[in-house]
Structure 1
Amino acid sequence: MTPDHPPGLDLDRLRGLLDAERPGLVSGPLTGRLIEGGRSNLTYAVSDGAAKWVVRRPPLGHVLATAHDMKREHRVISALHPTAVPVPRPVLLCEDESVLGAPFYVMDFVEGTPYRTAEQLAPLGPRRTRDAVLGLVDTLVELHAVEPGEVGLADFGRPEGFLDRQLRRWGKQLDASRNRELPGIDELHAALGRELPASPAPTVIHGDYRLDNVLLGDDDKITAILDWEMSTLGDPLTDLGLLVMYSVPLGLPDSPVSTTATAAGHPAPAEIVERYATRSGRDVAAVSWYSAFAWFKLAVILEGIHYRYTLGQTVGAGFDRIGELVPVFIEHGLTTLQEG
């Protein structure tokens, strides 16, 4: 494949589909490139020289077990696009695998920058960095203010027993990749189970809400929230807990986990929580549990990556250092829960 015809993206078949389903949309030959980033699904930028779109599809060689992710992602951005929540405009969903070999969807390309590290934020300076992160909190409040039933998402998840299911799910994930002693992780898992809070009314949640999953425009305002593959109906404070976790500096130079928390001007966790509480009106008294759960969840994810590394199943740089991060995340989780 040439750079303009990346693997997994048959531009001729895509053009044929767009011409049939959205006549007049495309005005010239299509080119495409793979956009780096994202945890699992593949993202391509496609252009006809005048306009640009984005194509999202499952990874190559993907089996059908989670092929519905495309339908869910398309459904949630379609539902949210008319609201105040900034998402790209959906163009179409294609579940016919004969086109690209897997289900996929197309949406408008949105201009903006994803900030993944403190170094990338540095040119903004402290004030702009602070405003950008507080804007991230305000946009989360906007998302959680959407009434699921009013946008056709009343059946988008099973909020009853959400936290208990999440805790059991990540416990099973841990067991699946357990091949070394991890002091404290079972203690953290058990303590989270004992102190399970009562969830507020369910909302649409993003599931992986952080600065590098949004695009910021030239005015530092959010132009789009991306990567909706983990979205569902559930406890909104899980999104807040994850955002708080990512706002704690790890104190590890050259960490392979993206962090923007050490950028000058980045608001402290307490300010983020206060901003969310004030703007949303929600009770955030149990936020320590939610951020401790986020530390546990990330520890499990990182241990899974480390496990695959030990089996020789990872490709790329930095995987050799993932394993040493896991105890740090466990310790933060235990400390956060005790402080709560």
Structure 2
Amino acid sequence: MSSADIVGIDAGAVGRWFATLGVDFAGPLAFERIGLGQSNLTYLVKDQDGHRWVLRRPPLGHLLASAHDVAREARILTALESTAVPTPRVLGLTDDPAVTDVPLLLMEYVDGQVVDTMSIARSLTPERRRAIGVSLPRTLAKIHAVDLEAIGLTGLASHKPYAQRQLKRWSAQWERSKTRELPALEGLTRRLVAAVPEQRELTLVHGDFHLRNVITSHDSGEVTAVLDWELSTLGDPLADMGSLLAYWPAQGENTLGDFVGTALDGFPHREELVAAYSAASGRDLTALGYWHTMGLWKVAIIAEGVMRRAMDDPRNKAASGTPTAERIEALVTKAHEVADTAGI
């Protein structure tokens, strides 16, 4: 496929926009859809000299309000440039109709390894898997330690209790995107509503933190860039840890479909992730079972939305395949198990 035919991008217009950004490049530019994400679309941009950049845009087709706000993502990434959180640098943002019909975000290309397929996960040594695994909760602790006032993000989102905000937002998302009735999910929602823990602090929350949303060093396995900030907000830091656990299947669990890389030898168990986060953050983790349950509930609702978008517009299908009803039901079942253990 030539760059002229790449879905979602006007190659000529983007090339003209590049020329206004002060970015040195040797045209013409080539574009390639990358990543397995089924939310915002991501493209690798290359020039004739082999220089690389990354371009992001919202998905194709009808969008739910605020769900794919790349301008907001750009604001967060720019604010984080001065912090200890590893992120790619923002080079440009445009919604100029001469360039694009949706906002476009241009970022630096961070070299490294994204562990987003089973073949990549299998290619790693157990030692490298372990290094990557323990780096994730330590990176989360850095995100949650950010001084919001110092970087100008106190106004990023509401300061009202996060659990209630999440329950309201994702319940509404479920109603808009569900493809069928699922009483077990409705029951899970009721359990979460009834057991909301007290919110003790408000921090920056990534909102979708997991193995496939980070770039890791080829040398050490440490996280070198955290990606996909579109769901980032202000809230309870344990929510991110709950999401990480939700996206970390153990052996024999099919909650993430074909991607069960974290069950391979060497990757830390969920209990070890919790211990690493506890050591790095010093936080009281009493309520973590609640947030792990909510993480699974949210992943199920996100998966349903992806399934719905792929049904509505097949161009939104990504290389990783589309979630299935069975996988979504497995997530809900696992969430009920975690809730039982947590006593909620």
Both proteins in one fold, TM over 0.5: yes
> In the aligned structure 1, how far is the partner of 2:139 from the partner of 2:293?
23
Q: CA distance change for structure 1 residues 101 and 313 in 2, over 3 Å: closer, same or farther? A: closer
1:31, distance to aligned residue in structure 2 (A):
2.0
Q: CA distance change for structure 1 residues 312 and 251 in 2, over 3 Å: closer, same or farther? A: farther
For residue 45 of structure 1, what is the aligned residue in structure 2? 44
> In the aligned structure 2, how far is the partner of 1:147 from the partner of 1:288?
26
For each residue in 1:147-187, what CA deviation from the matched residue of structure 2 results, as whole angstroms up to 9, or x when unmatched? 11111111111131221021122222333355655353232
Q: Tell me the TM-score normalised to structure 1 length.
A: 0.89
Query: Aligned residue pairs: how many?
Result: 338
For residue 288 of structure 1, what is the aligned residue in structure 2? 289
1:298-337 correspondence runs (5 A): 298-305=299-306, 314=314, 322-337=324-339
Supply the RMSD in Å over aligned alpha carbons.
2.7
For residue 104 of structure 1, what is the aligned residue in structure 2? 104
For residue 231 of structure 2, what is the aligned residue in structure 1? 230
Unaligned runs of 5+ in 2: none
1:104, distance to aligned residue in structure 2 (A):
0.9
Unaligned runs of 5+ in 1: none
1:250, distance to aligned residue in structure 2 (A):
6.2
> In the aligned structure 1, how far is the partner of 2:186 from the partner of 2:64?
33
AA of the residue aligned to 1:251: G
AA of the residue aligned to 1:31: A
Q: CA distance change for structure 1 residues 166 and 278 in 2, over 3 Å: closer, same or farther? A: same
> In the aligned structure 2, how far is the partner of 1:186 from the partner of 1:228?
28
Instruction: Give the fraction of aligned pairs with identical amino acids, expressed as a percent.
Output: 35
Which of 246-255 and 9-18 deviates more?
Answer: 246-255
1:60-139 correspondence runs (5 A): 60-61=60-61, 65-66=65-66, 69-139=69-139
For residue 268 of structure 2, what is the aligned residue in structure 1? 267
AA of the residue aligned to 1:18: F
For residue 157 of structure 2, what is the aligned residue in structure 1? 157
1:5, distance to aligned residue in structure 2 (A):
5.3
1:48, distance to aligned residue in structure 2 (A):
2.1
1:252, distance to aligned residue in structure 2 (A):
4.9
Q: CA distance change for structure 1 residues 108 and 245 in 2, over 3 Å: closer, same or farther? A: same
Note if 1:173 corresponds to 2:173: yes
Q: Tell me the TM-score normalised to structure 2 length.
A: 0.88
Q: CA distance change for structure 1 residues 49 and 98 in 2, over 3 Å: closer, same or farther? A: same
> In the aligned structure 2, how far is the partner of 1:68 from the partner of 1:171?
18
Which of 251-260 and 220-229 deviates more?
Answer: 251-260
Displaced runs of 4 or more, over 6 A: 317-321
Q: Is the 8 A contact 2:32 2:44 kept in 1?
A: yes
> In the aligned structure 1, how far is the partner of 2:67 from the partner of 2:299?
24
1:307, distance to aligned residue in structure 2 (A):
5.7
Which of 170-179 and 88-97 deviates more?
Answer: 170-179
Q: CA distance change for structure 1 residues 190 and 63 in 2, over 3 Å: closer, same or farther? A: closer
AA of the residue aligned to 2:175: D
